């Protein structure tokens, strides 16, 4: 039996091969974008932005992001955060000669559909990327960053003679408060 929309088995094979090539190219660029988002300079910029902005957000763990009383500052912060990711994604696309139309949204859908294994190297970068696309996810993310920052300031700053502030800001992005470098197997206590 021939597949829907195929006039012959050879046209079905050709269509399947084309779809497989498109999926492979999409995956190649999704992984390329992920590596691009993990570059040190961008991670540092996101860490600094999140560190500076998180104190405006409530610390309550299960704050409802759909409540209508949200400050306009939260929406403005989301737009600024999203712009950081969109600008970075546009740089990647321009470098590779790709069209920018809805690519970041497609990347989020692609990554969200293939949920990253908890604790993997990519989880924390993806958490930030996904937060850039959805206000409610962003709101919960920033509340979480605030709790992580306060925990880090209380536990890490009080226990150290000298503080590497850039390193501390980057740790706040991690769910387990480890480092965002490849291959990190942090044994730092988790907030979750």
DSSP state letters, 96-149: TT---TTHHHHHHHHHHHT-PPTTSTTHHHHHHHHHHH-HHHHHHHHHHHHHHH
State mean pLDDT over 84-91.
Answer: 90
Residue range 78-85: mean pLDDT, rounded: 93
User: How many domains is the chain built from?
Assistant: 1
- Structural domain contains residue 91: yes
Please indicate, yes or no, if residue 36 is contained in any of the structural domains.
Answer: yes
Percent of the chain residues topping a pLDDT of 90: 11
Tell me the average pLDDT across 145-154: 84
Question: Does 125 map to a domain?
Answer: yes
**Cα–Cα distance, 180 to 172 (Å, whole number):** 10
- Residue with more model confidence, 41 or 117: 41
Q: Is 22 a member of any domain?
A: yes
Identify which of 163, 165, 164, 189 has the alpha carbon closest to the alpha carbon of residue 175. Answer: 189
Q: Quick one: how far is CA 93 from the chain centroid?
A: 17
149 located within any domain: yes
Q: Are 124 and 174 in contact (CB under 8 A)?
A: yes
């Amino acid at each position: 039996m021939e597949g829907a929309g195929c006039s012959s088995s050879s046209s079905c094979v050709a269509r399947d091969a084309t779809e497989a090539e498109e999926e492979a190219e999409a995956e190649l660029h999704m992984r390329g974008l992920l590596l691009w988002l993990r570059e040190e300079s961008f991670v540092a910029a996101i860490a600094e932005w999140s560190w500076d902005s998180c104190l405006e957000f409530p610390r309550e763990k299960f704050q409802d992001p759909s409540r209508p009383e949200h400050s306009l500052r939260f929406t403005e912060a989301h737009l600024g955060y999203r712009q950081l990711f969109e600008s970075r994604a546009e740089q990647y696309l321009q470098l590779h000669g790709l069209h920018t139309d809805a690519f970041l949204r497609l990347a989020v859908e692609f990554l969200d559909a293939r949920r990253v294994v908890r604790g993997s190297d990519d989880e924390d970068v993806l958490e930030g990327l996904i937060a850039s696309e959805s206000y409610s996810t962003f709101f919960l993310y920033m509340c979480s960053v605030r709790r992580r920052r306060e925990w880090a300031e209380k536990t890490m700053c009080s226990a150290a003679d000298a503080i590497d502030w850039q390193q501390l800001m980057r740790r706040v992005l991690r769910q387990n408060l480890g480092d965002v470098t490849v291959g990190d197997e942090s044994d730092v206590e988790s907030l979750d």
